[in-house]
A and B are shown apart, each in its own frame.
Chain A
Amino acid sequence: MNWKRKDLLGIEELNPDEIIHILDTSISFKEVSERPIKKVPILRGKTIVNLFFEPSTRTRISFELAEKRLSADTVNFSTSGSSVLKNETLLDTALNIEAMKIDAVVVRHSGAGIPHLLAKKLSVPVINAGDGAHEHPTQALLDMFTIREKKGKLQNLKVAIIGDIRFSRVARSNIWGLTKMGAEVFIVAPPTFIPPYLANMGVKIFNSLDEVIEKVDVIMALRIQMERQKGSFFPSIREYRQYFGITKERLKKAKKDVLIMHPGPINRGVEIDPEVADGKNSVILEQVTNGVAVRMAILYILLGGSPTHASQRNGAIGRRTGGKRI
């Protein structure tokens, strides 16, 4: 397909063909990570900056591995807290980095829309590695990749997403992606975790896991942030686990081949029992493996096809993509 986007900011704006293109491209890249020499020269000479303004371990490492396996040079900038370097605004930081002639920016930020702001100002591709509670497109793509790999399809699958939807970018991106791909999405959470008009995103909402557990093909648990207790979103971990936790007893009611997923990091014994997280239905670690492949595919699609930095600056589109010339 003829890829036209400069950036990957969210799943909301992608169409099903674009999602399929990324998932298909990821298949070949997964193979690269299984080779003894896990490196291809596709992005040799390209420099990618990973801007992580929010603590992250797995996403940052996953991106870095993806970049390195494509032979790109990488620079990491990590800081925590919401505001950027002392007297520089975020945009100054980004413009300074761009002035150093880099080829792409991967950005994670606690503020919704920050990658979008950068994408408008920068001529190079911007990849959203998670913005506030808004979107986390690469996570949703790796989740869809994992489901499709295991189930052979996404269409007509029933997927339950459980937990703190209100503050979850993973949930939002997955809702967009899965519904676009024809899956049915069930949201299971106490009402305090459900933001207003969520059903308009094309999902069904339940307040009890037991109501849906028997019919779903995939159960995706989200991390419970302990500090939400203070905001009275839920009264106690104990009660949450009792009614929304994926316990081993509850799992017995599920389909034999149900997939258990979690974007990590897991609170073992809270949203998911250790036995379930490590059990035979769990694909949690495969999600992590697939994350590298999907991110390689995205970097390849956004960067691989254009021969020089200059052509991107001129906004050249219609890059060579599609062919699996790896």
Chain B
Amino acid sequence: MMVTRGAILIKNGRVIDPSSKTDKVLDIYIEGGKFSKIGKNLKSRDAKVLDVKGKIVLPGLIDIHTHLREPGKENVETILSGSVAAVHGGFTSICCMPNTTPPIDNASTLDFILEKARDAHCNIYPIAAITKERKGETLSEMVELKNLGAVGFSDDGKGVKDSLLMRRAMEYSLMLNVPILEHCEDENLSIGGSMNEGYTSTVLGLQGIPKESEEIMVARDLLLAELTGARLHICHVSTKRSVELIREAKKRGVKVTCEVTPHHFTLTEEAVKSFDTNTKVNPPLRTKEDIKAIEKGLKDGTIDAIVSDHAPHLSTEKEFEYENAPFGMIGLQTTLSLVMKQLVEREILTLSEAVEKLTINPAKILNLKKGQIKIGHDADLAIMDPRKQWQFRQEDIKSLSINSPFIGWEFKGKAVCTIVGGRIEFSE
């Protein structure tokens, strides 16, 4: 990895910045970690010049749903290792979920993360827990956590079961202007389930997680958001009905945003037939019909953001019975390429629309002054080679965990250089 400080001049790249509807060949001059000039035929005597002709220059990608396992499980993923994986995937900012041990529900854990984040290769924004110990019983000290740097609140990994508590969390969050990021799942309906409930689960003899497990909570939380006026962000939408519920709520003016993961628009429950525990995720891989609805939701703007839901687990944790293996797969290094393969190549989204959901939209959801190539902003960039053919191999994985069902997949299009705050953090 090459780390460069000082001025950088990026020449001849096709700059796509959805926030300003830019899509043209431009030069970008970076100085003091900020974008200082954007234009044609820029020149510099002392800057490091990167000629990126034929490549695409994007605002650095922002992942608002990442699981780093520090503190607690540093052998599975650290803030440092997660950040290395991030920059290899074109991400310059990642937001880490609070389901660590201990969880991010108090000032000292948050401080610890921010301290560690200083050595990271990309920007780390912590999301704090809605409830103390993520137990769903009492609210965490949300004002303090926000003031110390938490960018949102979530009990992700599970939902807030108690509707009254959820109402209170939403009401309390009104004075903070940050969203509640909700993992929508009715735990009781999901009990014992390890994959989507349907014909495939019946054949495999695996207990299913019905779509309704997600949809019931999506519906509840939309109603509570409407009741309270709070900002709600629905995590990892996986079903057709969830998309429809959110679309309808947006029309009514509910302050809701939502996200989807690449695996939920790429794989279906059919993948579970391999019994590969890397296909075990929560929410589970659904059906073709759901993917169609997600594609429609991405196109019409119902779905605002694309996130990795990067969830590392060691192979020793994953190499168990499907029923007992933990949920989750890594995703930081495959997200951009899956977006290219599944959405852009198949013309579900234009490149600019896709990039919007990886940059400015997630930035807006969490109020980050990021995701734009704009003079004065932090110089976070992802440079993509859209023609680069590559295979995702196990040895390429920068995470400490290798739990991906996409190992061996062939892709076209890859991040080849990532610049964070004016420093080249990854280049190949």
- Residues on A facing B (Cβ under 8 Å): 12, 82-83, 89-91, 109-114, 116-117, 131-135, 167, 169, 172, 195-198, 200-201
Q: Chain A residues with Cβ under 8 A from B203's Cβ? A: 12, 172, 201
Of B80-88, B204-212, B384-392, which binds chain A?
B204-212
Binding site for A on B (CB under 8 A): 197-199, 201-208, 275, 316, 319-324
CB distance from B192 to the nearest CB of A (A): 8
Contact B202 A198 (CB under 8 A): yes
Roughly how many angstroms separate A111 CA and B199 CA in the complex, as a whole number? 18
CA distance A197 to B202 in the complex (A): 7
Chain B residue numbers with a CB within 8 Å of A111 are: 320-324
Question: Could you say which residues of chain A place their CB within 8 Å of the CB of B202?
Answer: 195-198, 200-201
Given A91-B319, A117-B275, A196-B197, A83–B205 Cβ distance below 8 Å?
no
Q: Are A83 and B206 in contact (CB under 8 A)?
A: no
A222 to chain B, nearest CB (A): 13
- Report the separation of the CA atoms of residues A173 and B199 in the bound assembly, to the nearest whole angstrom: 15
Q: Which of A82, A83, A195 touches B201 (beta carbons < 8 Å)? A: A195
A167–B202 Cα distance when bound, in Å, is 9
A169 to B322, CA, bound (A): 16
Listed A/B pairs (9) with beta-carbon separation below 8 Å: A83-B320, A113-B322, A114-B275, A114-B321, A169-B205, A172-B203, A172-B205, A198-B202, A201-B202
Given contacts A113-B204, A172-B203, A196-B201, 5 further A-B pairs with CB under 8 A are A109-B321, A112-B321, A112-B322, A113-B275, A134-B206
Q: How far apart are B91's CB and chain A's nearest CB, in angstroms? A: 31
Interface pair B319/A82, CB less than 8 Å apart: no
> A191 to B203, alpha carbons, bound, how many Å?
17
Residue from B205, B207, B322 whose CB has the most chain A CB atoms within 10 Å: B205
**Residues of chain A lying within 8 A (CB to CB) of residue B206:** 112, 132-134
Cα–Cα distance between A200 and B205 once the two chains are bound (Å): 14
Once the chains bind, are B321 and A113 in contact (CB under 8 Å)? yes
- A residues near B207, Cβ cutoff 8 Å: 133
Q: How far is the CA of A134 from the CA of B321 in the complex (A)?
A: 12
Distance between Cα atoms of A172 and B322 in the complex (Å) = 18
Contacts of A133 in B (CB 8 A): 205-207
Residues of B within 8 A of A200 (CB): 199, 202
Residue of A nearest to B272 (CB): A113
Q: Report the number of A-B residue pairs with Cβ-Cβ less than 8 Å.
A: 69
A106 and B212 CA atoms in complex are apart in Å by: 39
Assembled-state Cα–Cα distance A133/B197 (Å) = 14
Point out the residues of chain B lying under 8 angstroms from A169, CB to CB. 205
Cα A175 to Cα B199 in complex, Å, equals: 14
Q: Nearest-CB distance from A138 to chain B (Å)?
A: 16
| Given A113-B204, A133-B206: A197 and B321 interface contact (C-beta under 8 Å) | no
Q: Which of A112, A167, A197, A198 contacts B204 (CB 8 A)?
A: A112
- B288 CB to closest chain A CB, in angstroms? 15
Residue of A nearest to B321 (CB): A111
Set B205, B208, B320, B322: member contacting A135, Cβ < 8 A: B205
From A110, A112, A172, A201, B275 is in contact (CB under 8 Å) with A112
- Min Cβ gap A309→B in Å is 26
- Least CB distance, B416 to chain A, in whole angstroms: 35
Contact partner of B199 (CB less than 8 A), chosen from A110, A134, A197, is A197
Q: 3 closest pairs, A vs B, by CB?
A: A111-B321, A113-B275, A133-B205
Contacts of A117 in B (CB 8 A): 275
Instruction: Identify A116's interface contact among B197, B275, B320, B323, CB under 8 A.
Output: B275
Whether the pair B324, A83 counts as a contact (CB closer than 8 A) is yes
**Whose C-beta in chain A lies nearest to the C-beta of B197?**
A196
Which interface residue of B206, B316, B321, B324 has the most chain A CB atoms within 10 A?
B321
Name the contact of A134 in the complex, choosing from B205, B316, B320, B324 (C-beta under 8 A).
B205
Query: Are the CB atoms of A197 and B322 closer together than 8 Å?
Result: no
CB pair A196 B199 closer than 8 Å:
yes
Q: Is the CB of A90 within 8 A of B319?
A: yes
Bound together, the chains give a CA A135 to CA B321 distance in angstroms of 14
Q: Nearest chain B CB to A217's CB is how many angstroms away? A: 25
Are A112 and B316 in touch, CB under 8 angstroms? no
Is A112's CB under 8 angstroms from B205's CB? yes
Chain A residues with CB under 8 Å of B323's CB are: 82, 110-112, 132
CA distance A139 to B418 in the complex (A): 57
Q: A113-B275, A116-B275, A196-B197 are contacts. A132–B205 as well, Cβ < 8 Å?
A: yes
Identity of the chain A residue whose Cβ is nearest the Cβ of B194 in the assembled complex: A112
Q: Chain B residues with Cβ under 8 A from A83's Cβ?
A: 320, 324
A126–chain B nearest beta-carbon distance, Å: 13
Shortest CB distance B161–A (Å): 19
Measured CA separation A286–B197 after assembly (Å) = 37
B199 CB contacts on chain A under 8 angstroms:
196-197, 200
Note all chain A residues with C-beta closer than 8 A to B204: 112-113, 134
CA distance A216 to B205 in the complex (A): 26
- Residues on B with C-beta less than 8 A from A134 are 204-206
| A89-B321 in contact (CB<8A) | no
Residues of B contacting A201 with CB < 8 Å? 202-203
Docked-complex contact B316 and A89, CB < 8 angstroms: yes
* Residue in A82, A116, A196, A200 whose Cβ sees the most chain B Cβ within 10 Å: A196
Within the complex, the shortest CB–CB distance from A318 to chain B, in Å, comes to 27
Q: State in angstroms the CA–CA spacing of A83 and B317 once bound together.
A: 11
**Which of A113, A114, A116, A196 has the most B CB atoms < 10 Å from its CB?**
A113
Q: Is the CB of B321 within 8 A of A82?
A: yes
Q: What A residues does B201 contact at CB under 8 A?
A: 195-196
Complex CA–CA separation, A114 to B207 (angstroms): 16
Q: Which residue on A lies nearest to B196, using beta carbons?
A: A196
Least Cβ–Cβ distance between A130 and chain B, in angstroms: 10
Contact status A110-B321, CB under 8 Å: yes
Contact of B320 among A12, A89, A132, A195 (CB under 8 A): A89
Shortest beta-carbon distance from A7 to chain B in Å: 14
The answer to whether B208 touches A196 (Cβ under 8 A) is: yes
Closest Cβ of chain B: how far from A228's Cβ, in Å?
Answer: 11
Complexed CA–CA distance, A91 and B197 (Å): 28
How far does the Cβ of B25 sit from chain A's closest Cβ, in whole Å? 49
What residues of A have a CB within 8 angstroms of the CB of B321 in the complex? 82, 109-114, 132
